[in-house]
Amino acid sequence: MNPVAKAPRSESALRVSFEFFPPKSPDMEQQLWQTVCELARYNPDFVSVTYGAGGTTKAPTFSTVERMIGEMRLPTASHLTCVDADKAETHQVIADLRKLGVRHIVALRGDPASGIGTAYQPHPQGYANAAELVAGLKEIGGFEISVSAYPEKHPESADVSADIAMLKRKADAGADRALTQFFFDNDVFERYLDQVRAAGITIPVIPGIMPIQNLTQLKRFASRCGSTVPAFLDARFEGLDDKPEDRAKVAADVAAEQIEDLMRRGIFDVHLYTMNRTPLVAGVLHRLGILPVEAAQAGAAA
């Protein structure tokens, strides 16, 4: 795999980043790297790699991050959680990531190791939450720091105000940007962003966009993480269960339309949850007029 050259881009152009998760089997590993190779051609601002609660995917996360940085030359952020780890253990992970070349960390509290929906218990000698983890990273120094944000609030937050108060703690501790949980109603995001700014939070808040691979599975996942799936999506996908090509076209249209609307509202950065699959994400980008670097360069030279 060869690294892809960067193409120049205007400040008004859409900037995209991609999230990947570490593979759990040889087949999944093959799929991941095929996806990374193909999506790298779209000149992402950065890519991120998830990290399981309590470091449950530590080894595959490290392996994935190392290859993305060393072989693919991609600007790569590693997720980092503080679940079930004391500060010494967390600092060792941070040191190990630095050795791999990581200079961007997505700092998260993380879901309880016992599963989403169960009570979170911070490690008595660890970082209690993401705000404390951000402060720890700033004290160590040398990292760009992203954090999470929740337009429809985190499932464990009492209300949106409490959720925004936590985001402010993370921003005040030194976070550089926030990446949001996925959502489908841009009015919800805009209201949330207004509340965030009113709270004195000035860091960029980048919308997380989830192209819909499977609507039924998405609804189950959304119910666990506090995201709403609007009724209009049922209408868009109605009758397409046995028509995979038509379903994929509608899914790409839905995500592209959401991003186009965000751009009309002045948002020019989005974080795409790839689910380690290329076709749908590429379909979304093509509908937005974003071409692979080599195609864009050829078009410019024509």
CA 266 to chain centre: 20
How many domains does the chain divide into? Answer: 1
**Long-range pairs of 117-120 with CB within 8 A, sequence gap ≥ 24:** 117/155, 117/224, 120/83, 120/156
145: β partners: 105
- pLDDT tens figures, 169-184: 999 999 999 999 999 9
The residue type at 184: F
Does residue 2 lie in a domain region? no
Query: pTM (2 decimals)?
Result: 0.91
Mean pLDDT of the chain: 90
CATH number at residue 45: 3.20.20.220
Q: Picking from 5-9, 155-159, 181-185, 272-276, which range would have the lowest pLDDT averaged per residue?
A: 5-9
- 89: pLDDT strictly greater than 70: yes
Catalytic residue selected from 11, 19, 29, 132:
19
| Angle subtended by helix axes 186-198 and 244-264, to nearest 10 | 30
Domain assignment of residue 5, yes or no? no
Q: What per-residue confidence (pLDDT) applies to 73?
A: 96
pLDDT computed for residue 43 by the predictor: 93
In a domain, 4, yes or no: no
Task: Identify whether 19 is a catalytic site residue.
Answer: yes
Does some domain include residue 90? Answer: yes
Exposure string of 127-160, with b = 16+ CB inside 10 Å and e = fewer, is: bebbbbbbbbbeeeeebbbbbbbbbbbbbbbeeb
In a domain, 216, yes or no: yes
Look at residue 87 and tell me whether its pLDDT is greater than 90.
yes
Tell me the pLDDT tens digit for each residue of 237-272: 999 989 999 999 999 999 999 999 999 999 999 999
Q: Which structural domain, as residue segments, surrounds residue 28?
A: 15-301
Q: Give the separation between CA 229 and CA 227, rounded to whole angstroms.
A: 7
CA distance linking residue 149 with residue 254, whole number of Å: 22
